[in-house]
Amino acid sequence: MKETLYTIPLTDAFMADTECPFCYIERAVEQDLMDYVLGSGSSYMESDTREQTDKDGFCREHFKKMFDYGNTLGNAWILKTHYQKLHQELQQQIKQYKPNKVTLMQKVKKQGGDNSMSAWVAQVDSSCYICNRFETTYERYLDTFFFMYKKDQDLENMLKKSKGFCLHHFGDLCERGELSLNDTQKATFYPLIFSIMEENFKRLSDDVSWMVEKFDYRNKDADWRQSKDAIQRGMQKIKGGFPSDPPYKTSK
């Protein structure tokens, strides 16, 4: 198959032999976005970028990662104009706010009805520039995965040799498969991916169990087998990401 912008990183992710190739991609894309937002290219000084970051803001997780990244001036510039925009919106929300009339039954059921202020806060809380940019890229990788699966035998072979996926990305693949595959393709894809997940969940379960057994004094001289990093791999398999990764920092 002809290599493209998305097939090459997807192939590299499978070749990395981690617990989830999509976690591998997610980390790489997120780090690229962190570099774009706060790196030496100073994208935060570009008016179009700042206009979008002012609008989208950042989630709690990415604010923490931005802080860890270490660009104090870049973070300050981003926060400065984002705060200005949020302050204007807050003033407008306060100006137009009207408390709801809540019935006794609603109070008993703790149902306050629609609240314009809490709805605005929820919108701010759920919006993130990095998350939004990643989701767009991630959608393309999902499409690429199924395009390669249907067109390239190498992808199926890599899938068979892989360690499967974390639960989060496994769920996404199952959902997208319904839209991307025909009935004949589904009849082979789902049994294959289910078998891979079962096998690798059993492997992780055994690794974690053996780590526990190693703390028994009777096994102190026994081989660790594959369990030395079982905790971080086990966590990744369930929730995704790379739990043992250090904070990603600016290279400057």
Q: What is the mean pLDDT of residues 94-122?
A: 76
Q: What is the mean pLDDT of residues 119-127?
A: 92
Name the token pair of 83. Answer: 């705060």
Q: What is the mean pLDDT of residues 1-19?
A: 84
Name the token pair of 244. Answer: 């043992």
Q: What is the mean pLDDT of residues 31-47?
A: 86
Q: What is the pLDDT of residue 6?
A: 79
CB 116 within 8 A of CB 96: yes
Q: Quote the CA–CA distance of 179 and 145 in Å, as a whole number.
A: 13
Map residue 94 onto helix, strand or coil.
helix
Q: What is the pLDDT of residue 41?
A: 77
Q: What is the pLDDT of residue 1?
A: 45
User: Residue 174: phi, psi to the nearest 5?
Assistant: -65, -40
Q: Kindly list the distances between the CA atom of residue 79 and the CA atoms of 73, 83, 85, in Å, as whole numbers in the listed order.
A: 10, 6, 10
Give residue-wise pLDDT tens across range 187-236: 999 999 999 999 999 999 999 999 999 999 999 899 999 899 999 999 99
Task: For residue 104, name the pLDDT band (cuts at 50, 70, 90).
Answer: low
Would you kindly state where each structural domain of the chain is located, as residue ranges? 7-39+133-239
Q: What is the mean pLDDT of residues 79-83?
A: 94
Q: Quote the CA–CA distance of 112 and 198 in Å, as a whole number.
A: 45
pTM, two decimal places:
0.88
Q: Quote the CA–CA distance of 68 and 70 in Å, as a whole number.
A: 5
Question: What percent of the chain clears pLDDT 70, i.e. is strictly above it?
Answer: 93
Q: What is the pLDDT of residue 102?
A: 62
Dihedral (CA of 8, 11, 16, 19) sign: positive
